[in-house]
A and B are shown apart, each in its own frame.
Chain A
């Protein structure tokens, strides 16, 4: 193992590998420690969706900028990440949701996003198999440039490109301690050896809380178990991801033909358990059939669990800790880390290399939780 590095990243998911690439390509000597294998945490279990329709400025800004990067990412990294833009259809169920939707769309449009509000008939123009009455929708918002990409392939492509620029990635290597003096980071100790560094990035997903605790930093994150299903493959019938904030459901048909989708589990609770529940499977199947009755004939193939690393306002925690120079937060993605990772890793690499900060980075600093009033992200599913 190397004895020193400019930057050590803890966590080999999409955030860690994306940041390793963005730093390495700018000549930074970067090293990644992953305790299991690449994508073994939330990245490898995620729903693969990429959505720009958010209620808070920071999430929308990060997602819109990320889509611009995703559009060119296969070329940039030299591997196909299977990015596809089939749009996101967000169901609206009542007048209260309509009011919020109008507000969201207004804000999203000021950021240059192409997004429209549909009436109930417009829903079937986008996704013909939906039963508008069954899903109790009065309308929807639709953004055609939303979509999805393959989280495994995107992470592997970032990691491979990072290695070509000289990054060192150590899998099956667990961080056991972090060395610091009074005000700054000095090194990282793992079960395979130690390394000197002045900058540590905490990109450890649901384990980021444990990593922060090593250096005495308290984070408000809570790990929540989430579940997803995948069906057998069948003829392509729709391209958009369908979601509902009220029911919490999301589902889409992938290019190969399988449906992937999730919904909050009736037995959902904080913790690190990874056992799938029967109650989720039943709740998911019955809600999915209510939305698209024709799917009752489709076979369910697989059902797995993953995690959301949830913060009090469902927005990520990014940037440096005030009293500990060199300890950088990159976690708390609350279920939407994959879709904003290209821009997050770019912003953090600009901060680390040039000291450059931005409005989004400032607003998402961990210090925001000291204020009594935080702006909560309303548009979450799963």
Chain B
């Protein structure tokens, strides 16, 4: 069952993967993110980070409110490179 519960859809990370990483000592949300790539896909963490924080709270006892949110990365939603470049005429 745990294998089928997907926490991060972008990177295909299951509940079991997250719990295993926490058991291995990755108890900081930033370390978890860097180990599993959670929050680095197209959704930029909007789907998974809340779930990961809840799992962290359950496993470590650290309250969700006391866990810092990972830093957000612009441009928040995907934007194609051509659009970004079109705003500037490089000579």
Contact = CB atoms under 8 A, between A and B. Distances in A.
B88 A38 contact: no
What interface size band does chain B fall in?
Answer: 20 to 34
A39 interface: yes
A232 B78 contact: yes
Contacts of A98: none
Nearest to A292: B81
Interface in A198-242: 230-232
A380 B42 CA distance: 31
A300 B79 contact: yes
A232 B31 contact: no
A37 B82 contact: no
A38 B30 CA distance: 9
Interface stretch (A120-128, A281-289, A325-333, A352-360): A281-289
B23 interface: no
Interface string A154-175: 0010000000000000011000
A269 B68 CA distance: 28
Interface string A131-166: 000000000000000000000110010000000000
A179 interface: no
Given A281-B74, A295-B81, A296-B85, A301 B30 contact: no
Given A44-B34, A282-B84, A295-B81, A287 B90 contact: yes
A312 interface: no
Given A282-B87, A290-B90, A300-B75, A156 B35 contact: yes
Contacts of A281: 74-75, 84
Interface of B: 26, 28, 30-31, 34-35, 40-42, 44, 71, 73-75, 78-82, 84-85, 87-88, 90
25 contacts: A36-B30, A37-B28, A37-B30, A38-B31, A39-B34, A40-B30, A152-B35, A232-B42, A274-B71, A276-B74, A282-B88, A287-B90, A288-B85, A296-B81, A296-B82, A297-B82, A299-B79, A299-B81, A300-B78, A300-B79, A300-B80, A300-B81, A301-B42, A302-B74, A304-B73
